[in-house]
Amino acid sequence: MLKGIPTIISPDLMKALMEMGHGDEIVITDGNFPAASCAKNILVRCDGHNVPEVLKAILKFLPLDTYSDKPVGLMAVVPGDNVVPVIWDKYKEIIRENENREIDIEYIERFEFYERAKKAYVIVYTSERAQYANIILRKGVIKEC
């Protein structure tokens, strides 16, 4: 163990975060997402955890891309589905707390989201039960002051 690293961040997840470069994407999924079939590179399982707690832990280390108009993507609600993803409000709060700025969010059609997830550097599977709880983050750069 190391100081300051939340226990929810496994060695495999920390390694993946460290290996990611500018523009690489990480997908944090809910329990219904086909994570194993979409993960073409790295799959990290965070069974027993939910997306907000994983998102909060990851954003302690991962800067969001400032060169992208929308460095965060959410799976859009399928037309006709009467779901209101209230979990998105929690995501926006967590992002705002960690980035100290407003972030524009992209809403991505379900099958387009799957295709984008297949290109992600890492997919983090959680046991989140909320529908439409999947989120994509694009890694930014650490700028020297």
Q: Which amino acids are annotated catalytic?
A: 22, 65, 114
Say how far apart CA 41 and CA 121 lie, in whole Å: 6
Say how far apart CA 144 and CA 36 lie, in whole Å: 37
Give the 3-state secondary structure of residue 138.
strand
User: Six-digit token pair at 28?
Assistant: 């944090």
The DSSP line for 111-122 is HHHHHHHHTSSE
